[in-house]
Structure 1
Amino acid sequence: MKDVAAVAGVAVKTVSRVVNGESGVGEPTAARVRRAIAQLGFRRHDGARLLRQGRRSGSVGLILEDVSDPFYAQLCQAVEEVARAHGALLLSGSSAADPGRERDLATDFCARRVDGLLTVPTGTDHGYLLPELAAGTAVVAVDRPTPGLDVDTVLTDNAGGAASGVAHLIRHGHRRIGYLGDLPEIFTAAERLTGYRRAMAAAGYEVHGSWIDMATPEPVGIRFALDRMLSGAEPVTALMCGNNRVTVAVVRALAASAGRPAVVGFDDFELADLLAAPVTVVAQDPPLMGRTAAELLFHRLRGDAGAARTVRLPTALLPRGSGEVPPPGR
């Protein structure tokens, strides 16, 4: 900045005012400063500026499970919009559901002195963030809680949403309803399975073990699970799918089948309403989840030191046709 001031023939404070868009500098003088900046290739040092203002870095970190997943892509976009509105830069990365990678991302972001961290937790031990919390880094958990950390958390009503999807199938005459979900150790998967069981129990219907499949959603495994559920003496007549990846795999596996079961999916997905058999879904609101989590984070950064809170967002049932198919004989 001293070099710019020397070339422009002005005081360093004048250069600072021009660089930071402050008033009090005449246009001819400002033009000389801008020409000197262009000539010298000067770039503002935001890190030094923020330190002088008593701030850390003016940035926040976001750790997702998979940024290519449409759910997380929408959530990320919403967080970025809130961060931008607060004058902060967003750094983001994908953990790929790997606890070690999640920890590496978190520690790398904190090493870069992010002011706050939003994370979709994968691991079961987040004690490594305790020193960061003690140092003043704000942390908000998104989509799942962080075991061992008392931080703000934004969740979907997973159990209630799954229960509403199963109740919808029951209202359309189904009694034998299968459930396909993700790995049971995943918080959201376990919560949605609980909702399925709750709705079946509330209706007074028994659940057979062969009607439930909890595994990584991959095509071969889904096909085996469907073969088991749709055959035998008591085949299911309807399916509740635990997330959008499971639903897509099920729809593909059933594409060439005759007499398809009714299907309700948890999570909306692109073109679900435009398929030959539009898919009924229990929809989450990822932009709302992202905005809510980000606003909680910036509320903490503004000095809120109150007790940690948990916000549970509602779901919406979107009937489109696949979930309204009656059971055989009706």
Structure 2
Amino acid sequence: MSKARRATMSDVAREVGVTAKTVSRVVNGEGPVSAETRARVLEAMDRLGFQPNLMARNMRVGARDSTVGLVIPDMGNPFFGTVAGGIEGAVRPRGLTLLVGSSEETAEGERSLISTFLARRVTALLVVPSADSDHHPLRAERAAGLPIVFLDRPPNRLTADCVVSANREGARSGVAHLIAHGHRRIAFVGDLSTLYTRRERFQGYRDALAKAGIPLDRALVETGHDHEAAAAAVVRLLARKDPATAVFAANNFAATGVVLGLARLRRRDVALVGFDDLPLAEVLEPALTVVAQDSAAIGKAAAELLMARLDGDRSRARTVEVPTRLIVRGSGEMPPTV
């Protein structure tokens, strides 16, 4: 069987030495099949990478849909909600329906969702990768012509279309903004170091420090994967003998947590720049200065890539970088008080 096409039910039947009807019974759970035969069929399906064509089955009973599958890490993160909105606005005029599922930031969850979408024979696949995922198994799907686009983070062990923010340059500009207002002890509060976005933004932080001749102090680097972790991190940073006078929060959850931690400490003298805008950022006191991503543009760019592939574009995989912008509101402009 050619690796450039999807395995079929006939391929599985031939591999096991049974009829296609027997394979169909295993796939659909209909009709008698011995436990031994079922096990052999399932093993062959896994080995050949066979995905049941649920869309064809739906069409046989009168249902018709043309879908795009989107895997995101977290349904509760407003960033990904806006990304999904950008995608949906672009694909809907083409008669495509967007299906969204959460991997919960795990490789296992991501694999399961991708398998589900492939089983439906989705028209295209969009993925925000988890930190430890492996996308090498998707090479056959991509070679067979399935449009696959990765968002926010590049794929692992696969060359494919990708849309990301200008993470490094955005972080550099945010930290440089704090330096321009007199800060030299600038803390970094970010996500897990295994994430591409965290690594890129941390490098931007380091770039800004290096350009200003400020040595990196590892004691000022903290992890805040969620609100409470980030709040606890800023408490630790400000309890030091030589505390930070400013904080760069490298994602929206980290920024929310830092705001929460500063409020608990009743500290309004610490400058803060966040990466990602926040709801109600303008009504905080002081209002939050941010490096804003254009999440809707990220979604739209990903949708345009996949639609170009659907229209026959067979050029080499490419990466689109969407610019960020610094929004000055007040929290990042406070000078150091110590």
TM-score class, shorter = 0.7 to 0.9
- What CA deviation, in whole Å up to 9, does each residue of 1:297-325 have, x standing for no partner? 01001111100010111100001000011
Cross-structure match for 1:80:
88
Number of the residue aligned with 1:258: 267
Give the letter for the 2:140 counterpart. P
Is the CA contact (8 Å cut-off) linking 2:231 and 2:260 kept in structure 1?
A: no
- Residue matched to 1:147: 156
Determine the structure 1 residue equivalent to 2:181: 172
Task: Report the Cα offset of residue 161 of structure 1.
Answer: 0.5
Amino-acid identity (%): 43
TM-score (norm 1): 0.81
Deviation string 1:82-120 (CA, Å, 9 cap, x unpaired) is 111111111111111011111111111011000110110
For residue 188 of structure 2, what is the amino acid of its counterpart? Y
Provide structure 1 residue ranges, at least 5 long, that are not aligned to the other structure. 1-44
Would you say how many aligned residue pairs link Structure 1 and Structure 2? Answer: 280
**CA pair 276-215 structure 1, distance change in 2 beyond 3 A:** closer
Given candidates 234, 247, 257, the residue that maps to 1:239 is 247
- Say if 1:327 and 1:243 are closer, same or farther in 2 by CA, change over 3 A: same
Deviation at 1:229, TM superposition (A): 1.8
Contact kept, 8 Å, 1:184 with 1:190, in 2: the verdict is yes
- The match for 2:118 is 110
In structure 1, the partner of 2:297 is: 288
| CA RMSD, 1 decimal | 2.1
Give the superposition deviation at 1:131: 2.4
Deviations 1:136-192 (A, max 9, x none): 211000000001111110000111101100000011111110000000001101110
- Residues 70 and 98 of structure 2 are in contact (CA less than 8 Å); yes or no, is this contact kept in structure 1? yes
Distance 1:148 1:271 in 2: 39
Q: Secondary structure at the match of 2:215?
A: coil
Counterpart Cα distance in 1 of 2:123 and 2:308: 12
Q: TM-score, structure 2 length as denominator?
A: 0.79
Amino acid at match of 1:247: A
Q: Which residue of 1 aligns with 2:104?
A: 96
Cα distance in 2 for residues equivalent to 1:117 and 1:104: 13
> Aligned partner of 1:105: which letter?
L
- Tell me how far apart the structure 2 counterparts of residues 246 and 264 of structure 1 sit (CA, whole Å): 11
Paired position in structure 1 for 2:256 = 248
Supply the distance in 1 between the matched residues of 2:178 and 2:287 (Cα, whole angstroms). 15
Amino acid at match of 1:82: A
Please, which of 182, 185, 199 is the counterpart of residue 190 of structure 1? 199
Q: What's the counterpart of residue 121 of structure 1? A: 129
Matching residue of 1:217 = 226
Give the corresponding residue for 1:276: 285
Corresponding residue of 2:237: 229
SS at match of 1:277: coil
Distance 1:159 1:49 in 2: 50
Which of 319, 323, 327 is equivalent to 1:318?
A: 327
Please give the alpha-carbon distance, in whole angstroms, between the structure 1 residues aligned to 2:296 and 2:100.
Answer: 16
* Residue aligning to 2:69: 61
- The CA distance in 1 between the partners of 2:164 and 2:231, in whole Å, is 30
Q: Which residue number corresponds to residue 47 of structure 2?
A: none
CA contact (8 A) 1:254 1:260 kept: no
